[in-house]
């Protein structure tokens, strides 16, 4: 609890594990969260995002470790502070509004339980109705509202009691695409304006980017990376983070040189240089070649003049590819291509690339991420 005792920390999760029967859903999670911070938890289905959220909410108890929230320990394997005594509120995917209560009654619900005076209650509700653009809808029942309006009511209800921490579990996943984009920006602005701390679970990297101060990237019950969105994007700490951050292209090769910050990887008979985003990978200069992966975003490849006869094709970061197919995607073209050694990749480009063509593409070193196979758990 060293960190929790410093002033600015709201939440300190220390070495928390959680199993369901023989299945360990969380395998030793530790993190701290600052007051007013928005953390978005990202990761594939089943990686333990909701389990972590439920532990913070108090809906479930850890098998081991400690959760400290706002002023004291709220959960260990032996003690559990119930949800209503933690000062947290949760907004679920399905909103969980009371269907028989009006918008006004839904928002006032928690305040009445707190026995707040009528004047203060009216002031708070009025402010929330205005902040969440719900004026004029006070008397409607939830089934008489659109998905986006119901979502706003759920957020207003959760904010009304001024929780220490808001927990959001896939809050936008029931909305259509346009509304999701609109709502995620609105929510981010609202939470920042109110200085609310938010722990937010989502499948959607774009939603996480729009909302978060830091991303918590999870995989198989562990934390892969906890960092600012920019840092996760520029230096994804594992192949799983890289893939979530849009580096969908993955080529297998042999790492033939390896220094603190850079690696050289051989893909077929071509060599490319890249950065080593994991400290672990970079600490070893390596003996002999090792299996590795080169990952990069389809948007990063740029067609360049072919340097076929150059003797020094060692580290020019060019890849010779055959274009198999190219289709229009609205603003850009997406080509499916193949390396000379038969590995598939995508290229996103401003102009169409002709199917059947053999061409050179260049990959900027800073956008080429190299991981050793053995670094992946």
Binding region for ligand ATP (CB under 6 A): 20, 23, 25, 43, 45-51, 203
Q: What is the DSSP string of 180-234?
A: HHHHHHHHHHHHHHHT-EEEEE-S-HHHHHHH-SEEEEEETTEEEEEE-HHHHHH
* Nearest Cα to Cα of residue 314 among 253, 369, 252, 256: 256
Report in angstroms how near the CB of residue 20 gets to ligand ATP at its nearest: 3
Report in angstroms how near the CB of residue 41 gets to ligand ATP at its nearest: 8
Name the DSSP letter for residue 298.
Answer: G
Pull the structure tokens for residue 375.
């670094």
Nearer to ligand ATP, 35 or 60 (CB): 60
SS3 13: strand
Length of the chain: 377
Nearer to ligand ATP, 41 or 145 (CB): 41
Sheet holding 222-227, edge to edge: 88-91, 165-169, 197-201, 38-42, 214-219, 222-227
Q: Are 317 and 362 in contact (CB under 8 A)?
A: yes
Pull the structure tokens for residue 293.
């992966």
> Measured between alpha carbons, how far is 322 from 354 in angstroms, rounded to an integer?
9
> Measured between alpha carbons, how far is 167 from 197 in angstroms, rounded to an integer?
9
> Measured between alpha carbons, how far is 209 from 231 in angstroms, rounded to an integer?
12
How far, in whole angstroms, is CA 36 from its chain's centroid? 18
The enclosing H or E element of 262 equals strand 262-267
Nearer to ligand ATP, 46 or 99 (CB): 46
């Amino acid at each position: 609890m060293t960190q929790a005792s410093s002033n600015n920390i709201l939440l300190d999760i220390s070495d928390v594990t959680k199993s369901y029967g023989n299945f360990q859903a969380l395998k030793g999670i530790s993190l701290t969260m600052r007051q007013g911070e928005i953390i978005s938890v990202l990761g594939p289905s089943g990686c333990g995002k909701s389990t972590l959220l439920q532990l913070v909410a108090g809906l479930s108890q850890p098998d081991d470790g400690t959760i400290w929230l706002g002023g004291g320990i709220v959960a260990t394997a032996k003690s559990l502070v119930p949800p209503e005594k933690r000062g947290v509120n949760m907004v679920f995917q399905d909103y969980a509004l009371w269907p028989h209560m009006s918008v006004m009654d839904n928002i006032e619900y928690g305040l009445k339980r707190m026995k707040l005076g009528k004047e203060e209650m009216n002031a708070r509700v009025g402010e929330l109705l205005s902040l969440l653009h719900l004026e004029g809808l006070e008397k409607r029942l939830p089934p008489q509202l659109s998905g986006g309006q119901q979502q706003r009511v759920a957020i207003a209800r959760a904010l009304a009691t001024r929780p220490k921490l808001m927990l959001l579990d896939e809050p936008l996943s029931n909305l259509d695409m346009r509304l999701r984009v609109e709502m995620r920006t609105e929510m981010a602005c609202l939470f920042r304006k109110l200085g609310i701390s938010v722990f937010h679970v989502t499948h959607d990297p774009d939603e996480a980017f729009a909302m978060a101060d830091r991303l918590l990237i999870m995989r198989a019950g562990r934390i892969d990376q906890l960092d600012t969105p920019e840092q996760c994007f520029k230096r994804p700490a594992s192949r799983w983070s890289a893939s979530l951050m849009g580096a969908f292209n993955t080529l297998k090769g042999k790492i033939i040189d390896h220094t603190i910050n850079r690696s050289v990887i051989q893909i077929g008979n071509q060599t490319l240089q890249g950065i080593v985003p994991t400290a672990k990978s970079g600490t070893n200069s390596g003996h002999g070649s090792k299996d590795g992966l080169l990952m990069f975003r389809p948007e990063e490849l740029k067609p360049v003049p072919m340097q076929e006869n150059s003797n020094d094709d060692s580290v020019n970061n060019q890849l010779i590819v055959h274009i198999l197919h190219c289709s229009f995607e609205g603003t850009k073209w997406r080509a499916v291509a193949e390396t000379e050694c038969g590995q598939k990749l995508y290229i996103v480009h401003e102009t169409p690339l002709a199917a059947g063509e053999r061409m050179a593409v260049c990959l900027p070193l800073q956008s080429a991420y190299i991981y050793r196979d053995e670094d992946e758990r």
